[in-house]
Every structure is written in C-alpha cells, then in structure tokens.
C-alpha cells in the first residue's frame, strides 16, 4: 500500500509541476564565423601566436591555423561558449500570498459519534497569470498554482460543544485554480474553482468508547493520509495588488490508497472536467459576457456531485471504504507581490 501511495503521489506531483503548456523548450546552438579580411597576408605571425584569417596564404599563418584547429577539435565538446541553452521556465510569473480563516466540520458517513465543529486557518503561496479572453476581450481569465498549509482546531473558534469528539487536523499540499470574471478599471471580480491534493493528519483528543467508531478512526488517528479537495471561490480585487476572497471547500481524506481504484476514480473525474472545459471555451468564444457565471455554476456543480457520490465509496464508481470528509467556509485576503 505504501508503494502505491508513493507512486500515486509522484504521478500527481508530475502533472502539477509539469503541465503540457507550462514550459517552452527551445535549444539554440550558435557557431562562430571566421574573421574575414581582404589582405593577402595579415602579418599576424609577426605580432601574435594565432591567426584566424583563412584568406591569408602566408606559411607561418597556415601553421598557426592548423595548430589552432587541432586544439579546437580536442576541446570542441567542452566549449560551452558555443552553446546557448535556454532553461525551461514556468509560465506562471506573478507571485501571491493568501491567508484565510473560516469554520469547518468533519464527518465519516457511518460514524456513530459526531466531530466538534472547528476553526480553520490557512496560508497559500504560489503564482498566478491573468489574461483577457473572449471575442471582444471582455472576460478576465485567471489561472494559479500554489502550495497550501491548513490547520483545523476547536480552539480557533469561540463556541465549543464538549459532548462531541474533539480533534485537530494539519494538512499540507498543492493545488491549482481556474477562474473567469469581469474587470472594472483597476478592480476585478473573479468566479472560479480550485482543485488540489495533499496529506492530512487527524489527531483524536478524546478517548472513544464506541468500538465501531474506534475501529474506523484508528486508520486516521495521528497518521498522514492522502486526500483531495475542491472549492468554489469568489475573489474581488479592490486594487490590482489586494483581493478579498470568499470560498466554500470540500475535502476528502482517503482511509487507504488502493492505487488502481483511486487512480481510476480520479482519472474519470479529470476526464469530466476536461469535457466541461471544452464546452466552457466555446461559451467564452460565443457568449463572453455570460461565460464567468456559466463556468462557476457548471464546474462547482460537477465538483459537488462528485463529492456527494464519494461519501460512501471513496473510489466511486469503484469499490471503497467510507472516507473522512471535511467541509469549510472561509474568507481571506490575497496579496499579489
């Protein structure tokens, strides 16, 4: 199981770090040209130990050129001055930092007990890219990639229900966001969605008395588990460098990773998003003004439906156990550096 988890994680990291359009690979090799002169003899042999004038017929110069060419042939493959290699660069160039606070709750479908509601704090660090889209360039498109660190704890909220199960959760991972919106001078409104994956560690603070609950939560308690998350987002940029964010996130933490079932389930999900993206691109081209709202409804509707189907089977449509599900409503601010 551990080997499949590692392999699955590496696959996800590869698609996150190396999307097909993220790099521009271009290798150029420049060759030096011989020095040209109209003189019959350049008299180089009288002033220097080298001569590169191929038109010079002087015997001394010929000897010097012959000696120089032999030296170049031995060191040709190590002559880095002749090679100019352009290192691939990420297409996301604009950095940002985002901080959020919110309220969340966790659940397992067949758990008898109930988790206490928890406060939520998060920080994201990443890069974004904005561009105008549509036939009249009236739609603002935004894409971003980021790393995220999140923390759930009952201590982060005021009211605490002591009768429920007390837990805290630490999560870290990577994600990407896609949004469409409208630009108003220096301000902008973006409607979009986020996807991501990461590792969560749930710590149960109470001693459980129910045997079935104890059996289910022992798979999660104080262990890092792989999971995925999706969020519906609304972002309003007051000025170009500062934005206010509101989002609703739903996350799924796997009890265990069975590679082929998990990979098949996520692949089916991504194919669904790919088909939807093709349709949204057509909407942007033909009905630009309504595209951000349509994009927001369809993408997040698909995400919500998949989340509901996975409540009982974590690898839907394949067999799977009940996963740990987390729902969070959060507000925050983004600072574009």
Q: Give per-residue pLDDT as tens, 180-237.
A: 999 888 889 999 999 999 999 988 887 777 777 787 788 888 889 999 999 999 999 8
| pLDDT-wise least confident of 80-94, 140-154, 275-289 | 80-94
Report the pLDDT value the prediction gives residue 133, as an integer from 0 to 100.
82
pLDDT above 70 (res 50): no
pLDDT above 50 (res 39): no
Q: Classify residue 70 as exposed, middle or buried by CB count within 10 Å of its CB (0-12, 13-18, 19+).
A: exposed
- 39 and 188 co-located in one domain: no
pLDDT above 90 (res 319): no
- 19 and 31 co-located in one domain: no
Q: How far apart are CA 72 and CA 164, in angstroms?
A: 78
Report the pLDDT value the prediction gives residue 150, as an integer from 0 to 100.
94
pLDDT above 90 (res 122): yes
- 209 and 235 co-located in one domain: yes
> pLDDT category, 310, cuts 50, 70, 90?
confident
Output phi, psi for 77, to 5 deg: -70, -10
- 16 and 155 co-located in one domain: yes
Range of the domain at 303: 2-24+91-336
- Sheet strands (E) in 92-241: 94-108, 118-133, 139-153, 167-184, 187-204, 224-239
- 77 and 128 co-located in one domain: no
More confident residue, 254 or 65: 254
More confident residue, 257 or 54: 257
Domain boundary pick from 86, 105, 132: 86
Report the pLDDT value the prediction gives residue 77, as an integer from 0 to 100.
45
> pLDDT category, 118, cuts 50, 70, 90?
confident
> pLDDT category, 318, cuts 50, 70, 90?
confident
- 82 and 100 co-located in one domain: no
Report the pLDDT value the prediction gives residue 336, as an integer from 0 to 100.
85
- 73 and 169 co-located in one domain: no
What predicted TM-score, i.e. pTM, was given to this entire model?
Answer: 0.69
> pLDDT category, 161, cuts 50, 70, 90?
low
- 110 and 57 co-located in one domain: no
Report the pLDDT value the prediction gives residue 90, as an integer from 0 to 100.
39
| Mean pLDDT, the chain, integer | 77
| Residue of 119, 186, 125, 130 lying closest to 334 (CA atoms) | 125
- 331 and 242 co-located in one domain: yes
Mean pLDDT, residues 268-291 = 87
């Amino acid at each position: 199981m551990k080997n499949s988890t590692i392999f699955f994680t590496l696959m996800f990291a590869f698609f996150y770090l190396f999307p097909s359009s993220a790099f521009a690979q271009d290798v150029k090799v420049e060759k030096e040209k011989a020095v040209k002169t109209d003189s019959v003899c350049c008299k180089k042999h009288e002033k220097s130990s080298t001569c590169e004038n191929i038109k010079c017929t002087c015997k001394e110069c010929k000897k010097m050129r012959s000696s120089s060419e032999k030296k170049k042939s031995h060191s040709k493959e190590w002559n880095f001055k002749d090679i100019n290699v352009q290192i691939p660069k990420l297409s996301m160039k604009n950095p940002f930092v985002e901080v959020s606070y919110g309220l969340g709750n966790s659940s397992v479908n067949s758990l008898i007990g109930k988790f206490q509601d928890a406060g939520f704090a998060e920080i994201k660090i990443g890069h974004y890219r904005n561009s105008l889209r549509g036939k009249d360039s009236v739609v603002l498109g935004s894409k971003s990639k980021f790393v995220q660190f999140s923390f759930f704890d009952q201590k982060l909220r005021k009211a605490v229900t002591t009768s429920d199960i007390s837990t805290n959760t630490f999560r870290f991972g990577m994600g990407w966001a896609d949004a469409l919106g409208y630009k108003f001078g220096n301000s902008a409104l973006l409607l979009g969605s986020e996807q991501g994956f990461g590792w969560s560690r749930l710590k149960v603070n109470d001693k459980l008395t129910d045997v079935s609950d104890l059996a289910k939560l022992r798979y999660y308690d104080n262990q890092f588990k792989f999971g995925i998350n999706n969020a519906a987002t609304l972002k309003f940029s007051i000025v170009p460098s500062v934005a206010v964010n509101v989002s609703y996130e739903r996350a799924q933490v796997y009890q265990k990773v069975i590679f082929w079932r998990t990979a098949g389930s996520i692949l089916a999900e991504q194919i669904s998003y790919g088909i939807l993206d093709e349709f949204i691109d057509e909407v942007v081209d033909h009905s630009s003004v309504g595209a951000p709202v349509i994009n927001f409804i369809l993408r997040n509707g698909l995400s919500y439906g998949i989340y509901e189907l996975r409540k009982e089977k974590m690898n839907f449509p394949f067999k799977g156990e009940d996963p740990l599900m987390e729902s969070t409503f959060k507000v925050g601010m983004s600072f574009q550096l």
